[in-house]
Amino acid sequence: MPRPPRASDTATAGDTYSNPPRYVRYDRSPMPVAAMAADYLPGEVTKRHQHPHAQLIHAVHGVMVVATDEGQWIVPPTRGMWMPGGTMHWIRMVGHVQMRTAYIRPDAAPGLPQRCTVLGISPLLRELILAAIDIPLPYEPDTRDARLMRLLLDEVLLVPSLPLHLPRPADAGLRQICDAIVDAPDTALTLADWGERLGVDPKTIQRRFARETGMTFGQWRQQARLLAALEKLAAGSKVVDVALDLGYDSPSAFATMFRRQFGVPPSAFFR
């Protein structure tokens, strides 16, 4: 599971900044929507931080691994991450990342998501995000700029959420299992093996998985492998190498599982 940055690296919405981050001008703007661009090098990790406004995080290039204390999400260029205001989070960059972020006031529109989720980014929403970056602050109501921001909000309400989340359990024993799987996604240890290691009945472990993550042990392990696969594919690894590295019997078995989850073969996901 994602290891958070040190507590000393944490930045909160209430901090008094002697040299404030550039996003402070945007993430607490009185405007309903404010957007900005930021580029990052491969492997960069942002500090733990939060924003008073909600955040739609999108990368036109590169892949982001977005993490909170409750889990992690992988966000390729065809997707966006919705982060409610006040959510402590950090982001790890896979490859060169060109991040384009819209900060959205919580009362900007009814029905905005209330939980972290990965959203599909339609071609229209992508173009609206890019256009929003060029809109200077503040902008006046009933202008083209305000109408463009309103349309961006309308698109956010329409796009689907996607299954790119790996929940983090609170139970210490489950975290031990989950950390081991994330560190070695190809592990062949079964639920019975973990029960023996932890001295816990496998049925108890299964019940705890269902209660804390909403998944079975097998579903969680499969999701961890698929998200690890997305990272490897984003970094340029070949499908055959990814399949074998993650413990699948064959590239075709991996491709079948990938298509079942994401609707496209692994070779087509980042197109």
Q: For tokens 């202008």, name the residue.
A: 143
Who wins on pLDDT, 138 or 264?
138
- Residues 224-228, mean pLDDT to the nearest whole number: 88
* Model pLDDT for residues 32-73, shown as the tens digit of each residue: 999 999 999 989 999 999 999 999 999 999 889 999 988 889
Q: What is the pTM of this model?
A: 0.75
- Residues 205-230, mean pLDDT to the nearest whole number: 90
**For residues 132 and 34, what is the distance between their CA atoms, to the nearest angstrom?**
7
Contact predicate 103/35, CB 8 Å: yes
Q: Delineate the domains of the chain, giving CATH numbers in brackets.
A: 7-162 (2.60.120.10), 169-268 (1.10.10.60)
**Model pLDDT, residue 271:** 63
**C-beta atoms surrounding 167 within 10 Å:** 17
CA distances from 262 to 141, 201, 255, 266, 267 (A): 40, 33, 10, 9, 12
**For residues 60 and 76, what is the distance between their CA atoms, to the nearest angstrom?**
9
Average confidence score pLDDT of the chain: 87
Task: Count Cα atoms within 13 angstroms, Cβ side, for 10.
Answer: 13
* Model pLDDT for residues 112-147, shown as the tens digit of each residue: 999 999 998 999 999 999 999 999 999 999 999 999
**Structural tokens at position 250:** 């064959």
Who wins on pLDDT, 94 or 103?
103
* Model pLDDT for residues 74-100, shown as the tens digit of each residue: 888 888 999 999 999 999 998 899 999
